Every structure is written in structure tokens, then in C-alpha cells.
Structure 1
Amino acid sequence: MKTTGYDSAAVPYREVTDRHGRVYRIGESDRDVMGRARWTMVLFPWMGMLGISSSEYAFTSAEDTLHEAHLWSSGHIFWLMGVWVFFQAAVAFPAGQLRESGRLPARYAMLLGALGTVLGYLSLAFAPNVAVAYLGFGMCSGIGAGLVYATCVNMVGKWYPERKGGKTGMVNGGFAYGSVPFVFLFTSYMDLSNYRSVLVAVGLVCCAVVACAGWFFQDPPKNWWPPHVDPLAPTDDPKIRRALQKNPPAPRQYTPREAARTPVLWMMWFCLLCTAGINIFGIAFQVPFGKDMGFAGGIVATAMSLKAIVNGTGRGVIGWISDRYGRRNTLVVVCVVLGTAQFGVLVSGQMGSMPFFLFCSMVSGFGGGAIFPLFAAMTADYFGENNNASNYGMVYSSKLVSGLVGSGVGSVVVGAWDYEGAFVLAGGIGLASAVLALFLRAPGRPRARRRIVPNPHPLGEEMA
């Protein structure tokens, strides 16, 4: 019998090992570890994600005002978003390494993220030239958002290792629908007379939300497992039993070096690159595409808001669905939906059908949002929770490329092939991603094979 090292109380725990050699630390409840229920570690990460959502999902809604205020070209606006996404993804792996080593506690990661968020909005408000915007918004805000995103998403999986899909999806959803009021604010209210005060106010509010949520963050001990769920025996709870059957825990805890040696991690990396690129392409170009197709600005803002709402809601719903039907199977369906929706957005715009455009926008938002919690939960399912911040950081680093491709290169493709060629290409990539997802399997877990017993009496053999 061992005891924890917490100052508040010495709570007994024990470590058990399953048939694969994975260690589970059981005996300590969530209240023993941090003095409160673990559902709070869903609430506070969700709040943190709300605080950073406007930087990605609402930014392009401010395109017209920023263009007029600073005389930045539309190309700069889209590349600013691409640089933001680049740094947001670039920080995921090093932040995970610092987090897992204990050199960057979750609370400090969140406070740094809050600082980066407000610096980004201040640079948009007062930048004397576009280079300052790239530095302040693209780099500082992107790094801050990356710290918050990586910390929030991985925190939930650690506290809910037995049923992480729905919880991870709910937290991930905050990254989308938290931007809804800012889409309308930037589209309908902000103009040349008030853009600086609006941007500063938004930056301060988002900073406060992230900092307040992050103050309550705390990691569980390594290998922690909830005491009411026996990791070595089937549980009586049908929801937990189904989730563990469809998404069994990783056979062992993979270090980042070990995970990087498995082909499946890089297949996940490439699949996320493709699907995230489609999602960012839709965020960046749905507003200008709708305007070019003749839809009123209010309709386009509504479409973008619905996209963000469904994007966020879809993340929570898809996590719950993946707990019931399996992460990989759900991912295949999501990729098909995401790819098909791109053709729908294009056709609806060409037809001038506002209801169809709104519907396809929502479907695209659902597919684009659902991929992120799926990959976050799948990484923990395949490689374990102990190093999930680093391992998911490697997978999520594909957004380094997808951000630049979806936004920056997307503008080049639109210029060369028009919207028709760009949306057709995005749809084809989505469908190809569904095929790739079929080959994703947890490393180290033996495949279940039926034992084939030879027929002792082959067909046509005479019985003695």
C-alpha cells in the first residue's frame, strides 16, 4: 500500500496492472486529489476555450473594417489568420512537453494564454503597420491560444479516462460557439468610428475569462483512474461498459518517442492535416463567398454564426456518439459529411438558395468541428493519457500546415481556379480522408482473429 504526497491528507492508493502491462492508480477520488468534483475540470476548460474562440472563428468577420482602417489588403487578412493558426498549432507539442515534465503547470499555461489573447487584440487595434499585426496577433495571440487549447483539451482526458469522448467534445466545442456573439459584433456593429474600443474591450473580456478559468486548473496524478470503475473487470454502468468496449484503453502508456515510431500516429497527423485544412478554408472563405454570390451581409453573418454554433455543438455530440459507436467509425462518417458539405456550399451559392446555403454551412460546420475532439480522444485511446499532451501535440501539429493551406494557399487557389475549383478540391480531399481513416488502428493491440479449424471430413470424402 502506498500513499500520496499531498499535504492536505495522506490518501491510500494502490497500483494494479492489466494483462497488457498497463498500470492503473486507483483508490483516490477526485475530491481527495483536488478537494472538489472532477466535473469542474470540464467546466473550467470549457470556459477557457470560450475565451480564445473569437480569434479564429470571428476574425474574418472583421475583414472589411480592418481593411478600411489599416488599408491592409484582403490577402494580408487571410495570411494573418494562417499565421495565427500556424503558431497556435506550433506550440502544441513543446507546450505538451513542458506540461508533462512539470516545468509548466496548467495554471501558468493558462495565464500565459490569457496574456497572448489580449496582446493580439491590442495589436489589431493599434498596429502602425501590418508587420506589427503579424507579430502581435499572428504570433502572440496564436501562441497564447495554442497554450490554452492544448491545456484544456488534454486536461479533460486525464480526469475522465474511462469515458473521455463526450467530455472532450464538450470542452472542444467551446472553441467554436464562444465566437458567435463576436461574429455579429464584428459584422454588424464595429466600424471605423469604434473599431479600436471594440477590439480592446473584446481582448480584455477574453483575457479575463481565460485567466479566471485557468486559476482553478489542476492535473490528476500519473496513471490516475476513478475508484468507482474497476479497470480489470467489466463495470455495471452500461454507458461506461459500452464506451470501454468500443474504445478500449491504450495497451500501455506511450512516450512521445515511442508514439512517433508508430505509423498510425503519422497517418492521424496527415488525416487531421486534410480535414483541418478544409475546416479552416470554410471559416476563411464562407463569408466572402456568400457576399460574392449576392447574399446580404446579415445573411452571411447568420450563416457564419450557425456554422460556429453547429461546429461547437457538433464537437460535444460527436464525442458522445464516438463513445457509443467507436472513435474510428465515427471519424469515417464525419470525413464523408465534411467532404460532401463542400459541394453543397458551392452548389447552394451558385443556385442563390439562401436556405440551402445556411443548411450546407451548418453541415460543414458540424463536420469541421467534430474532427478535433475525435482526434484528441483517439490519441489518448491509442497512446494513453500520461503523455497525451505531448502525443496529441504531435498529431495537432499538422495544423501548422493546414492553417497556411486552408487560409493562405486557399486564397491563391480561389484566385487561380475561382470558388468552384477550390470547393471541389476541398470536397475531394474530405472524401479521400474518409478512406484513410479506415486504416487507423491502435498500435500494440492484437487484432481479434477467428480461429479456423480444418474440416476433418472434406467435401466429397466418403465416410467409413
Structure 2
Amino acid sequence: MTTAQPAYREVVDDNGRVYRVGETDRDILGRSRVWMVWLPWIAMMAISSSEYAFTSAEDTLVGAHGWESGHIFWLLGLWVFFQAAVAFPAGKMRESGALSAKAGMMIGACGSLLGYLSLAYSPTVWIAYLGFGFFGGTGAGVVYATCVNMVGKWYPERKGGKTGFVNGGFAYGSVPFIFLFTSYLDVSNYTWLLTVIGFFLAGLVAFTGMFFKDPPKNWWPAHVDPLTASNDPRIARALKKNPPAKKQYTPMEAVKTGILPLMWFVLLCTAGINIFGIAMQVPFGKEMGFAGGIVALAMSLKAIINGTGRGVIGWISDRFGRRETLILVCVVLGLSQYAVFLSGSIGSMPLFLMASMVSGFGGGAIFPLFAAMTADYFGENNNASNYGLVYSSKVISGLVGAGLGSVVVSNWGYGTAFTIAGTVGIVCAFLSLLLRQPQLKGSERTTTPTDRPESKDREATASLALD
């Protein structure tokens, strides 16, 4: 039996960028593309506890294994290091076809499980560094990179809100585990509890990954004409504020524009502030005299707002522009660091909770903004690699925010540490003014509709033999 595949056309805009149109999401997936929002969202929630809830288990892990408390912050820093370090090589493998989305998710599930098992059974802290830091961080990084880039490929015309929603799962998915680790995890039950949690979360990642599928290169939704203004006001507004990239940049081309290195540096600084807050807020709250339940509540609110804020900020950036939104977020992130320290210093619980939520909002919003901005500036085809380069800055920010942050606190106190973090956030707001979509040089406009008129209306049909 022979079944004809849907016809598609490749259209070319004035800059020479090619769009593949004509195929619907159901033609490719067999179902609505919204599945490529919900499934990555669930997987992102499943890996979030390793970063956002980990320090909530500090007392239990230190007491059970006899580790020094300083190891907890360096364990988190190493986890973040490998979670970010794997983004670029994983992206290159995904784009070359060497690593499918499904295979990436299975690798991520195994790494996540090994991370939890190492915390439960490590005979020495160095095994924990290997299991949780390397395997757990690497597995989470592969899942993160796969999920964030997947949704951007399926929603190229309005990616901000969708990317933010999926990215948000990486934060508020940890909330149940923050309370669980703070209130119920202890030296009498940590082994079996961490084991059960590890298998459950790894199973979620593996199950969702079974349904992952990428769209074809240059794919564009059939109901949206990339060459004319859309009749849908939401799509038209999003494309006006955040127009598609002028071309599909390779990683080296993106680096040469100078814009990607600047994005890398701004993300390094802002992510470092976010990780510093994650690592230090629990011990800071306890030192300021707040009860453990209040500290857990503050951390949970931080994670909830961190996650929900990612979806909201993505929607806002669709309406008002990615760069303008990023500037506002950097200001909020910086000012909130001063507020967290001030509220703790004066012992104001309501202000501490409020400042924690605002800090969580700013810390979370930066990631979907940079994910969507990378695709807006450099195109979707190489977005896994390009965003992997930008996101690799978290390799340094994790060690600085968690590890070096603890050194600053030990030597100069929380006041100095929070002041530095807040000031860096304000500086990033000014640096963000320099971000803009790269413009093509004359020599780069190699293909236009008039240069290749046949591409304006080229149809490709194929038949598939089914036995």
C-alpha cells in the first residue's frame, strides 16, 4: 500500500531565509503540537528537584553521611556545572542526528536516577560528586536542552510564552520536594525515600521522552504565512516585536556577530545571582532566626514564582519585546537581592517572603528570555547549539553562585554577598541595552525570491511504501 505524504513548499523571504510551509503539526506528529508543550513541561518538572530542592536536604545529608556542610554547596555547584556544560555538545549531536530526542531523554532519565542513588548510598562524598554532580547534572542538562529547544521548534511564530511555560516547570516542579526534604527527610528514612523519588522522577522523564519528535528543518506552521502579516493579532504583534532571525546562523557565525558573547556574559551574571539565591536563602533565613517552616515556605514561594514567572515573562516578551523585558527583569533581580538581605536583617517575615518571591521571579525569568531571544536572533535550525553556547555560561555561574558565594559569606558575611549580587543585577540591565538582532551584511544576502524564483513555489511530494 502506498500513502502520499502531504505536500510542502519552501518559500524564501527578502533576506534569503527559507521557510518550509504546507505541513500541519498533525501531518508530522499525528496529533496536535501542543503535546510538544505538555510533555517537555512534565519532564522539566521531573528534573527540577535536583537544583531547587537540594539544599533543603542539607541537614539530613550532612548528618547521615558525616559530610562537612560546605560540600553541599560545592555539590550543587558541580551539578549546575555539568548541567550547563552538556548543553552545547548535546545540541550539536541533536542537530547532526547523532542523538535523537528520545535517546536524549533516556540518557537524562538514567543520569537523574544515578544522581539520587548516589545521594542515598554514597560511602564517601567523592562518590556523591561523581554520581550527583557529574551523572545527575549531565542527565538533567540533556533533558533541559532537549525540552527547551523542542518547544521553540514547534512554535517558531510565537515562542515566548510557550518556551516560558515549559521552562517554568524546571522551578515549581521542585516545590513538593522542598517541603518533603525540609519536613520529612531524616537520617532514619533518607535511603529508601531518595531511592523511591529517584525511580519515580526518572520514570517520568523516560515516559515523556518516548513521544518526543522534532519537526523538519525550516518548518513553519501551515496556517501562518511567514512572508505576510498574520490576521491573528497575537501572532502579528509577537512577530512585529520579535521578528524572525534574518538567517539561520551557525554557532561560529553567531559568535562572530558579537551579540552571542554578550548574551553569554549577561546570562553568566544573572544566572549566578539566581543560583546564589537558591544556595544561600535557606541558611541565611535560618541564621536570621526564622523557623524552619518559614524558610521552607520562603524557598517554596521562590520556586513557585520562579517557575510561573517564566511563563508570564514569556507572554510579556511576546507583547513588548524580548530585550525590553530582559532589562526590566535584570533591574528586578538586582533590587530584590538588597530586599532579601534587608528583610532578614530586620527580622521581618512578611518582607522576607515577599522579597524571596520577587527574587524568584527575576531569577527564573532570565532563562526563557534568553532561550527565545537566541532563536529570534540566530534562527531555529541551529538553536540547540546556539542556545547551548549561551547556556554554557551557567558552567561558571553555578560555581560562582553556589561555591564562591559560600566563600564570600564565610569571609565577609551575607551583607557583602547580597550587595554584590544586587549590584551585578543592575549592571546587567545596562549591558542588556546593547543587545539587538544581528543585521545581514550585503554579502550575506545570497538568496532572494528573485534570485531563486523556483524556491518560491517549489512543491515536494513523496510516497511511503507500507508493507
- TM-score, with length taken from structure 1: 0.94
> What 5-or-longer segments of structure 2 have no aligned partner?
442-467
Superimposed CA distance per residue, residues 319-374 of structure 1 (whole angstroms, 9 cap, x where no aligned partner): 00000000000000000000000000000000100000000000000000000000
- SS of 1:16's equivalent? strand
1:155 corresponds to 2:124? no
| % same residue | 70
Q: Does 1:228 align with 2:248?
A: no
Q: State the 1:8 CA deviation.
A: 6.3
**Distance verdict in 2 for CA 1:26–1:371, change over 3 Å:** same
Distance 2:48 2:281 in 1: 17
How far the C-alpha of 1:9 sits from its partner, in A, is 4.2
1:126 aligns with 2:116: no
Larger RCO (CA under 8 A, 6+ residues apart) = 2
Distance 1:146 1:11 in 2: 35
Q: 1:266: which partner in 2?
A: 261
Equivalent position to 1:348, from 328, 336, 343: 343
Query: Which residue is equivalent to 2:353?
Result: 358
CA distance in 2, matches of 1:80, 1:334: 28
In 2, the alpha carbon distance for the partners of 1:277 and 1:428 equals 12
Give the Cα separation in 2 of the matches to 1:75 and 1:88. Answer: 20
| CA deviations over 1:30-80 (Å, ceiling 9, x no partner) | 011110100000000001101100000000000000000011111100000
Counterpart among 166, 171, 176 of residue 161 in structure 2? 166
CA distance in 2, matches of 1:328, 1:245: 13
Aligned with 2:211: secondary structure?
coil
Equivalent position amino acid for 1:342 in 2: Q
Q: 2:310: which partner in 1? A: 315
Counterpart check, 1:11 vs 2:20: no
Amino acid at match of 1:288: P
Deviating beyond 3 angstroms after TM superposition, the runs of 4 or more aligned structure 1 residues are none
Output one character per residue of 1:216-257: Cα deviation in whole Å (capped at 9) or x when no partner: 000000000001000000010000000000000000000112
Shift of 1:416: 1.4
Residue in 2 that maps onto 1:138:
133
Could you tell me which residue of structure 2 aligns to residue 338 of structure 1? 333
Paired position in structure 2 for 1:208: 203
Equivalent residue in structure 2 for 1:394, among 389, 398, 401: 389
Q: Report the 3-state secondary structure (helix = DSSP H, G, I; strand = E; otherwise coil) of the residue aligned with 1:25.
A: strand
Pairing 1:23–2:29 present: no
Size of the aligned set, in residue pairs, is 440
Q: CA deviation at 1:210?
A: 0.5
Corresponding position of 2:437: 442
Q: Within 2, Cα distance between the matches of 1:276 and 1:248?
A: 26
Aligned to 1:4: none
Deviation at 1:260, TM superposition (A): 1.7
1:134–1:235 CA distance, 2 compared to 1 (3 A): same
The correspondence for 1:183, drawn from 162, 178, 182, is 178
CA distance in 2, matches of 1:9, 1:98: 31
Q: Distance in 2 between the 1:10 and 1:209 partners?
A: 33
Q: Which runs of 5+ in 1 are unaligned?
A: 1-6, 447-464
Deviations 1:388-418 (A, max 9, x none): 0000000000000000000000010101110
Cα offset for 1:10?
A: 1.4
CA–CA distance in structure 1, aligned partners of residues 230 and 89 of structure 2: 37
SS of residue matched to 1:20: coil
Which residue of 271, 284, 289 corresponds with 2:284? 289
- Return the match for 1:194 from 189, 195, 202: 189
Letter in 2 for 1:286: Q
Match of 1:459 in 2: none
Tell me which of 105, 111, 118 is aligned to 1:116. Answer: 111
Question: What secondary structure is seen at the aligned counterpart in 2 of 1:420?
Answer: helix
